[in-house]
């Protein structure tokens, strides 16, 4: 069964602005799907709809067989735990006044009923759980006592990834997570996401304007243009002649950078 099904989704902000036009796709458990498109193609709108920050007019979204806007609060709470998101601006997810270890533990404190399988939360102190999470994302455990302002952009993004995966989400939505980072740091973050996806069997929906980032991480790619899907293919078919001219143009533009 697909973990996520987006069916004929349309979003209109105003009479003249239709951000998504009858978008349909599905995502299988453990898969990494990339959505690539230029500015204004509707990527952020899709991400916001998927995490419930934005409404939509037509179509539907099904997560693990249930509609994602269930009326019962408890179901919604389970959805929010199971679908975690990483944003471009990692700093915004971290309270500047809290040491890193406290920020890291916020999701686990919100879902006290949940115990991650990869950390022995029963046996460890709160700070040690935070240190374990730092280790999982390749950060030095001593960063636990620092504040967000004392971390680099890449370190902050790793912390936000650690927070998101602490809840062992079934689906991780990444909205331009590397866009504000230097190229070498971008590769490190993408490599980390790839490793975590395999290690924890997380399904990833990776949204980016950067076709290089998408093709580095994702097995399957959807190309969005002005709210419509114009191409969809497996990574191995990236350079095949049947690719949509728009996909080819994105590839050509990326190779010129």
Ligand X SMILES: Nc1ncnc2c1ncn2[C@@H]1O[C@H](COP(=O)(O)OP(=O)(O)OP(=O)(O)O)[C@@H](O)[C@H]1O
Q: Shortest distance, CB of residue 174 to ligand X, whole angstroms?
A: 13
Within 13 A of 100's CA, how many CA atoms are on the CB side? 31
Angstrom distance (rounded) from CA 41 to CA 94: 28
Looking at beta carbons only, is 87 or 216 nearer to ligand X?
Answer: 87
- β-sheet bridge partners, residue 225: 228
Smallest separation, CB 17 to ligand X (Å):
5
Q: CB-wise, 166 or 208, nearer to ligand X?
A: 208
Which residues form the interface with ligand X (CB under 6 A)? 13, 17, 19, 37, 39-45, 209
CB of 1 to ligand X, least distance (A): 28
Structure tokens at 54: 């934005």
Q: Is 197 left (phi over 0), alpha (psi -120 to 50) or beta?
A: alpha
Shorter beta-carbon distance to ligand X: residue 132 or 175: 175
The structure tokens 């939505």 sit at 173
Of the pair 43, 156, the CB lying nearest ligand X is at: 43
- Distances in Å between the Cα of 195 and the Cα atoms of 115, 177, 190, 217 are 21, 16, 9, 10
Min dist CB 55 to ligand X, Å, is 11
């Amino acid at each position: 069964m697909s973990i996520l099904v987006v069916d004929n989704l349309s979003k209109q902000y105003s009479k003249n602005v239709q951000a998504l036009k009858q978008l349909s796709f599905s995502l299988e458990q453990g898969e990494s799907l990339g959505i690539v498109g230029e500015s204004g193609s509707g990527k952020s709108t899709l991400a916001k709809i998927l995490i419930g920050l934005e409404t939509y007019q037509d179509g539907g979204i099904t997560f693990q067989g249930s509609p994602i806007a269930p009326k019962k609060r408890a179901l919604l709470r389970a959805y929010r735990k199971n679908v975690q998101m990483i944003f471009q601006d990692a700093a915004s997810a971290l309270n500047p006044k809290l040491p890193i270890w406290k920020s890291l533990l916020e999701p686990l404190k919100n879902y006290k009923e949940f115990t991650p399988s990869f950390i022995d939360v029963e046996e460890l102190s709160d700070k040690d759980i935070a240190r374990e999470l730092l280790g999982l994302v390749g950060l030095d455990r001593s960063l636990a006592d620092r504040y967000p302002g004392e971390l680099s952009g890449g370190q902050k993004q790793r912390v936000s990834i650690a927070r998101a995966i602490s809840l062992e989400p079934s689906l991780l939505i990444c909205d331009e997570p590397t866009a504000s980072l230097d190229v070498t740091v971008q590769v490190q973050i993408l490599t980390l996401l790839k490793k975590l996806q395999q290690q924890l069997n997380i399904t990833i929906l990776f949204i980016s304007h950067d076709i290089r980032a998408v093709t580095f991480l994702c097995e399957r790619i959807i190309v969005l243009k002005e709210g419509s899907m114009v191409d969809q293919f497996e990574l191995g078919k990236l350079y095949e002649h049947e690719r949509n001219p728009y996909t080819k143009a994105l590839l050509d533009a990326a190779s010129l950078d």
